[in-house]
Structure 1
Amino acid sequence: MAHIPVNHPARPVYRVIAGLIALYILIFGIFGLFETADDDLFSRNSHWVLGLRTNLAFALVSVVFGIIVLFGAIHRGNLGHLMNLTAGVVFLVVGLVMLSVLQTEANILNFSISTVVVSMLFGLLFLATGLYDKVGPPEHAEEEAEWRRSSSARPGR
């Protein structure tokens, strides 16, 4: 049975982590726009911004995605929780897809291996933040605390 904690005490810390990652993505995208402004949308030139290789398409996607995820990190309800889980899956899938096409012409976002590693890391961090930032009514938090304290919920007892 899957269990996602409700009203976790470290929820603000996880939201800050998600917000910092989203801010990095947004800043990376903005700097990437300035760096690649004169290039084609899907160029494969060697433009590096904040340690990651980019092109105009990747910079545009980063700006849009950074704004969306930053909104989710700032939003106090479960929308942020769902957005972080979704962002985690998106980052992991994009990282795997771009890893599989890294040395081909299908590498339209101009990824390098460092970009793949950062994408996977951000995906895992977004999943972790999404798992612990769910908000619920105080009754759910109390039921969860009681469930954790009860001896019947522990295996082997």
Structure 2
Amino acid sequence: MPHFPVNHPARPFYRALSGLVGLYILIFGVWGTALTWGDPLFGRNGNWALGLRTNLAFSLASIAFGIVLIIGASRRTNLGHYMNLTAGAVFLVTSILMMSVLQTDANFLNFSMSTVIVSMLFGLILLGTGLYDKIGPHEDAEAERNRRNHPVAEIHRR
């Protein structure tokens, strides 16, 4: 069973970081939607927003993801923990899949290599914030700390 740190002291920083990622994605989506409005949904023109190539479908998906990430970052529950873990995995998988079809007609989200890199970076950030923003009762946090500082664990760390 994996053990995520519970009530990590840097949790507010991680929540703010995931909120900033969500805000960037939301602004990118709104900007991209304004630029690509009227174009085909999966168009492959040269529209760029905030340094990333986009089309209407990718911009609309970015708006949805940005809102979801901001909601997750604003909640003081484990909802943000699970949202960040899930969104991090989605961003990483999407960036790898889109990189594999970058120069083909299957590039339906109109990704460029810079979009792949930013998506991977955001995926790693969200995955990292998801690993450290779990909350729980004080007893669970204390039990997790004791499990990490158990003498047997000390022997295995050396």
TM-score with structure 2 length normalisation? 0.95
Equivalent residue, structure 2, for 1:34: 34
The answer to whether structure 1 residue 98 and structure 2 residue 123 are counterparts is no
Give me the whole-angstrom Cα distance separating, in 1, the residues matched to 2:108 and 2:123: 20
Name structure 1 gaps, 5 residues minimum.
Answer: none
- Give how far 1:105 is off: 0.5
How many residues in Structure 1 have an aligned counterpart in Structure 2? 157
| Matches for 1:6-155 after TM superposition, within 5 Å | 6-155=6-155
Matched to 1:52, the amino acid is L
SS at match of 1:91: helix
- Give how far 1:152 is off: 2.7
- Give how far 1:38 is off: 2.4
Tell me if the contact between 2:29 and 2:61 (Cα under 8 Å) persists in the aligned partners.
yes
Give me the whole-angstrom Cα distance separating, in 2, the residues matched to 1:127 and 1:8: 15
Give me the whole-angstrom Cα distance separating, in 1, the residues matched to 2:153 and 2:109: 47
Tell me if the contact between 2:6 and 2:132 (Cα under 8 Å) persists in the aligned partners.
yes
Aligned-residue sequence identity (percent) comes to: 62
TM-score with structure 1 length normalisation? 0.96
Matched to 2:119, the amino acid is S
- Give how far 1:142 is off: 1.4
Give me the whole-angstrom Cα distance separating, in 2, the residues matched to 1:145 and 1:111: 43
Give me the whole-angstrom Cα distance separating, in 2, the residues matched to 1:39 and 1:78: 39
Give me the whole-angstrom Cα distance separating, in 2, the residues matched to 1:138 and 1:118: 36
Matched to 1:124, the amino acid is L
Give me the whole-angstrom Cα distance separating, in 1, the residues matched to 2:52 and 2:136: 38
CA RMSD, aligned part only? 1.2
1:26-53 per-position Cα deviation (integer Å, ceiling 9, x unaligned): 0000000111112111111101110100
- Give how far 1:143 is off: 1.6
Matched to 2:91, the amino acid is F
1:81-117 per-position Cα deviation (integer Å, ceiling 9, x unaligned): 0000000000001001100100001101000000000
Give me the whole-angstrom Cα distance separating, in 1, the residues matched to 2:57 and 2:149: 51
